[in-house]
Structures are given as structure tokens and as C-alpha cells.
Structure 1
Amino acid sequence: MSKSERLRVGILNPASAVGHGGYMQYLLALADGLSRHDDLQVSVFYEDSRSVPSGLATSPVAWVALPTGESRVTGAIRAASTILNTRTSSIGRFKALEGHDLDCLISCASPVGFHLGIPFVGIVHDFIYRYFPDLADFPLKERVTRNLINSRLVRHAALTVTESEVGKSDLVRLFGADPGKTRPIPLSPPPHVYQHRSLSESTLREVALRYDLPERFVFYPAQLWEHKNHRRLFEALAHLRDRDGLRVPCVLAGSGGDHAEGVLSAVPELGLEGQVLHVGYVPDADLAAIYKLSSALVYASFAEYTNMPVLEAMVLGTPVLCSNAFAMPEQVGDAGLLFDPFDVQDIATQIRRIWNDEALGETLVRRGTKRMEKFSLDHFGNRWRDVVIEVA
């Protein structure tokens, strides 16, 4: 197929994505999945160079920097037009998109496609701020902004994509979305997870030494935000120690952020020094190694629809323990143990089960490998291609 016959697809990667690991992993999977189709020409338009992955020399995806230096007046005009549901030609740095003659634009946090007159697809990951408005993670300004953007995406996008059937149901209920214009597409891990699936024993030993990892441990990769529920996980570990005499080491990965000090203060408070290890931000290859070295993933968040670590663990052969909140049971299926994220004893019970039963862990790994057929990059890319073709 000649280049001129291919549909030109743009993916908008906002500066706000930097520091939000889940969104960046989604974007990488999306770009890779779509680029597998010869009839699509994919470009990612980014605002912050920190969001550009390394090793792009052989990538079929074009990464295009948007201009910088937009005036506050231009941004204010665009924001006001969005609020008033009117188009404006004052779109600042996004004006550069017009020169790419896009057939379809995919956007998570901006209805700029509406102002440009480009058919666009809106991605809505979750509405957690509507369920937990008192969380420190979602101050008033953040909630108001998200409500505005989501409502405009629903109003103006040709189609809207969610990560689950539960997400679709909530988008319809909370924002009046048309069910016929809403497509649930399950997450897929980004390509680097598959690339690190086979790591040598020497590599695993080197990573274990570099991070001073315990011989056995459970693993929780998540930023230190309140809704990630580290506190109850720590309490479950203390419960196992105090009630059962069972000491289960736990390794945490993820950047700190504004709430890190408060989250980690529970470690000395519960006497878990030396049992809980926070390794901070970890490069992709090292992260894969830590998954493979761990006895299980414990994903404790109470405020997410779905999550990427569950899928990463399944790809890398790590048993999964996961919160039963929102659409996570839909995502996990029978390939993991579920627990109530608000019930410390339930969390402790599931950790005890996986810690003491090697055969159970092996069963979950086999089921996870099978389940990943549903969440493969090919499947993800095919579903997204159908959406692009429908919109363009």
C-alpha cells in the first residue's frame, strides 16, 4: 500500500502525561498496536520530550514535537471556547496539527480535535474522582477540569473509548454518553514488557543485588498516591506478622510525588522497617526483572477501573493478587486472587494463600499466560484500528 493511500492517524500526548506512568504505558501500547497495520500512518504529537521513549530509530511511528511558547491569552481563549462549546481559531501550539492533514486524531485529555475540525476519538480512562472527591489526589480544580474535559469529549468526539464495560456504563450514566458511540477496549501491556519476558539468570541476580532485594517478596509497583492504598497493604503485612508470625517482605516501586512522605510514614509506625523496601522509579528492564523475582504482584488500589501492572505480571509469569474494585475483576478473570481493598484481613488472607502455596502460584501463572491472549498487542491494535476506520 502506498503512503498516500494510508489513513493518517494522530495521537496527542499532552505534557500532563509526564509522571503518570499508566497513561504513558497506554500510549506506547496504542502507538505500537496501530502501527502494526499497513493501512495506517501513525504520528504521536508530544509537548514534553521526557515522554518520548528511547530506541525510535526503527519505529514506524513518527514522534513529532509541538511548538512551545504559547501565550497565556491563547490558552485562555481556547479554554473559554471549550467551556462555551464553541470553536475557536486561537488554538496556539495545536495549530501545527493542521499541517499533517490528519484523518483521525486520538486524544485523552483535550477536545482540541473539535476546534481543529478533525474527526477525533476521545479516551476516558476513569471517573474515580467522582466516586472519591475527598481524596487529596483530586483537589477541586482537578475535579472541575476533568468534568469539563470529559463532558466535552463525550459531546464532540466521533467515538469515545473506555477500558472496560464498567467504564462504558459509568460514562453513559455520569455524562450521558451515547452507548452506540462508546467502545470498551481492554488494556494491553506496552511492547517493552514482551521484550523483557526472557531475562537471564545472571541479569536477575544482578538486579536483585543492585536493589538489595529480599530472597522472597511480594511486589507493588504504584505511585505513592492515597488511592493506591499502601496503608492497608502495610496493615495487612503487620497483621500477618502479629497474628500468624508470618513475615512477608514487600518491595514497592514508583515515583514518590507530593504524598510520598505521608504514605511511607506508616512503615515505621507499624514497625515494618526492614520488611518494606521502596526502590523508587525503576527502568523498564529492571522493573521486569523485579516482577520475575517476586513471589506475587499485590495490586491494592481501591480507586481504579483497571490497571497495567496486572497485565505486566501475567506476561512476565508472576502470580496476581488484585483489588476487586470497579472493573478489575473483569480484567483479572480467573487468573488471580481478588480481595476487598478496604478489608485488611482479606488482603492478608490472600497474601498468606499465595505465600504458602507454590502450586496455587503456578496455577495462576498458567491461567495468566492463557488470559493474555485476550489482551495481546495484536488484539488491542485490531480493536483500535476498527475504531479509527469507523471514525475516518
Structure 2
Amino acid sequence: MKLVLSVEALSPSLTGIGRYTWELAQRLPEHAHLRDVQFYRGGRWVDEPASLLQAAVPKAAAAKVKPSFRFKQPRWLREWRTSAACRGRVFHGPNFFLPACAEAGVATVHDLSVFKYPETHPLERIKHFEREFTNSMARAAHLVTDSEATRLEVMNFLAWPADKITAVPLGVSSQFAPASEDALVTCLAKYGLTFKRYALCVSTLEPRKKIANLLQAYERLPRQVREQYPLVLVGGAGWLSEALHQKIDRLAAQGWLRYLGFVPEADLPALYAGAQAFVYPSIYEGFGLPVLEAMASGVPVVASMFTSLPEVTQGAALLVDPDDIDALTQGIHKSICDEPWRETAFKAGLAIAHSYTWSRCVDRTVDVYKKVMR
């Protein structure tokens, strides 16, 4: 079976969808049922997806490299060759959309937040979905979602038949695992952190993640707890977050909040494993990969009680309404200070996280490809 995988989501700073795409790009070429996997991005073929994870070369440095002469094909010829190369293959768009050259294929719909919570997205993203999403859905032969909760939501929203949508849970890398203080001290020192002396949240700063609520809840913790266990935020600056960044700056000046922004992928496992607790108050998630990574790292989790998160955590996390600030505060305090509960959450989280593997995700994704080919 031949496959084309779109790698539009790959960039030096991987989001959750980027990480999903990267795992597929690494593993699909090695799968026993695939004999030819090609990668596609922005109208061009990509030989090495790993190159998309590298930072762009500065213009000054790029100017010193003498480009080799290459005949520029007419647009109609490029489009015809691209379309011809796609025929006879399954085309998978792992980031919502199918490119124009794909007459049919598989699309992964991670969530419907842009339709359910348009006020939490930038205008450009909303317009992009308005232009492209309906067209992609019209050409998709099958849809993949990250969770059963999202599958049911997509089925109802799009009025698609149940047998045309498959829930394929994501996986978690073996790099996310409990670790000793000695193993983490060097990495944590880079960020001025102490082993098991901070709470962690890994999330893009966008409105539906409810980071403002997290800050409000953390501010209500006893002063001694905040000082002993500062809150560490990791993730991109996001959008519609100007007021939130101002609040972060103000609270960081008090000494109990640290905003690290994006950190290298290689450092994330250490930041997870070194945390005392992990908090993820997002109001809406298609899966919630950071929660799974925290559980795999042996870290007690407080998460939102909505959408896919109860399904993913399977009873191992403390679930709260992120709009209930008192409940969120109590949950955070419990995750940091209640040792009997922490031990229970540690064991349950590890057991559940071990059931999510990228190999299983890939196998089930290939099963969808087979179904489409038949």
C-alpha cells in the first residue's frame, strides 16, 4: 500500500498536532503494510521531514550559499505531476485538511474548537477553516479523531455515518517516565528549578486553555505553598493573550510564577518528571496529550472534567470544572500536599499511560488506510 502524508504541522516548535504528525512521519515508513511513503507540504514533496524541525537559516547565512540552477517548471506541469503522483495512494492529512491534489483521502479532525469556540481563535484561523475545511471534508473518504468523545462530536456536527469516522488514541513516548533527582538536576538547573519543588502546566496560551483561571486559583493557595512550589508555565505565546501576558509579568514579579515559553523538545521529559504536580484546566480538548505525558512521567494530574479528558485519564486524574476557581484551587492544593492521594495518582497514572503507545496509534491508523483502499 502506498501513502502520502501531509507534514504541514512540522516546525521547530512542535505543538500537539505537530508531535502527532512527527510520530506518524517517523513510524509509517517502517510499517509492514506500507511499501512506499512520501511526504507532502505546501505543494512540494519533502524528502526528509526531520529537516522541517530545524530552525530556519538566517538570511545573511543563506545569502552565502550559492543556489544550484534548477529549471522552473510551468505551474500546470507541476500540478499535473503532483496530482499524478497522488493517484493510487492513500493521502492522509493529519492536521484537519486535505490538499487540492488529493481527490480523496483520510483527514484527522483533532477537535471542533474553531466552530464551538470561535471567539477563542484568531480571525485568520477562522477564515482559513471557512475556506478549506468544508472542501476537505467533501473529499475525505474517512475521518480520524483522537478520542471517542471527539468522534461522537464530529459525527453529530458533520452528520457523517458512524462507520466513516474512527477514534485512534494518541500515544506517549517512552522518554516520558519517572526519573531520579540525580538524573534531572542538570536539566532543571538550566531553568532555575528544583526537583519536586514546582507545579507544571504545559500549554499554549490561548483562551480555551483557561490559563487565567489557573493563575487566579494558584494565587489563592496559601502563601507558603506558592513559595515552596512555584507554578511553571511552558508553551507558546499563543493568541488573544495580551492581557494574560501582562498578568503573568505581574505575578512573576511576586516570585511564585515562572513562564518559560517554548522549551526544546529534549528538555520536556525532565521538566515533567521533576514536577510535584501537573495542572491542565483546558475547557475543551480533542485529546490532551500533555496530560498523558504527565501521567507517564509519574506526576499527579489535575485536569478539566470536560470533553475528552475524563476519557483519556480514565480515573487517574483529579477532574474539576476549570471555571470553578475554588474547586480548582482545592484540586491544586491536593495534588501538591496530599501524599496518600499523590501516591494513588502516581500508580494509576503510570498504569493508564502505559496503555497508550505510538506503535498502537500507527497500527490503528494503518487499519484506516486499509479500509479506505478497500
- The answer on 1:310 being equivalent to 2:291 is yes
Alignment partners' CA distance in 2, 1:44 and 1:314: 32
Report what 1:63 is aligned to: none
Q: 1:111 aligns with which of 94, 98, 112?
A: 98
| Distance in 2 (alpha carbons) for counterparts of 1:70 and 1:230 | 49
Find the residue that maps to 1:305 and give its secondary structure. Answer: coil
Aligned to 1:173: 156
2:82 to 82, 87, 96: 96
CA contact (8 A) 1:151 1:175 kept: no
Deviations 1:277-331 (A, max 9, x none): 0112111221110101001111121132221101111222222211112111111
Q: 1:92 to 1:360 in 2, by over 3 A?
A: farther
Secondary structure in structure 2 of the residue aligned to 1:173: helix
| Match in the other structure for 1:298 | 279
- Specify the code of the residue in structure 2 equivalent to 1:121: V
Closer/same/farther in 2, CA of residues 177 and 133 from structure 1, 3 Å limit: same
Distance 2:97 2:293 in 1: 28
2:153 counterpart letter in structure 1: D
Give 1:159's aligned amino acid: H
Is 2:314 aligned against 1:320?
no
1:156 offset after TM fit, Å?
A: 1.9
Q: Match of 2:129?
A: 146
Unaligned runs of 5+ in 2: 55-69
C-alpha distance in 2 between matches for 1:101 and 1:23: 26
Secondary structure class of the residue paired with 1:240: coil
| Larger mean Cα displacement after TM superposition, 229-238 or 161-170 | 161-170
Q: Report matched runs for 1:250-265 at 5 Å.
A: 250-259=231-240, 261-265=242-246
CA offsets per residue over residues 174-208 of structure 1, 9 Å max, x none? 2222222111111223xxx3135475644411112
Identity %: 24
Residue aligning to 1:14 = 8
Query: Which segments of 5 or more consecutive residues in structure 1 lack a partner in the other structure?
Result: 1-6, 55-66, 75-89
Quick one: distance in 1 between partners of 2:353 and 2:4?
27
Per-residue deviation, 1:121: 0.3
Question: Aligned-pair RMSD on alpha carbons?
Answer: 3.0
1:365–1:92: structure 2 CA closer, same or farther, 3 Å change rule?
farther
How many Å apart are 1:52 and its aligned residue?
2.9
Contact 1:217–1:294 under 8 Å retained in 2: yes
State the shift of 1:158 in Å.
1.1
Q: Which amino acid aligns with 2:98?
A: P
The number of equivalent residue pairs is: 348
Q: Give the TM-score normalised by structure 2.
A: 0.82
Retained in 1: the 8 A contact 2:251–2:257?
A: no
Q: Deviations over 1:63-85 (max 9, x none)?
A: xxxx9x999xx7xxxxxxxxxxx
- Do 1:310 and 1:320's aligned partners in 2 also have CA atoms closer than 8 Å? yes
Residue 311 of structure 2 corresponds to which residue in structure 1?
330
Distance, in Å, in 1 between the alignment partners of 2:368 and 2:23 is: 15
Shift of 1:152: 2.8
Paired amino acid for 2:33 = D
TM-aligned CA distance change 1:126 to 1:315, over 3 Å? same
Mapped pair 1:45 → 2:40: yes
User: Are the equivalent residues in 2 in contact too, given 1:154–1:177 (CA < 8 A)?
Assistant: no
Give the letter aligned to residue 30 of structure 1. Answer: L
1:34 to 19, 22, 28: 28
Mapping of 1:237-252 within 5 angstroms?
Answer: 237-241=218-222, 247=227, 248-252=229-233
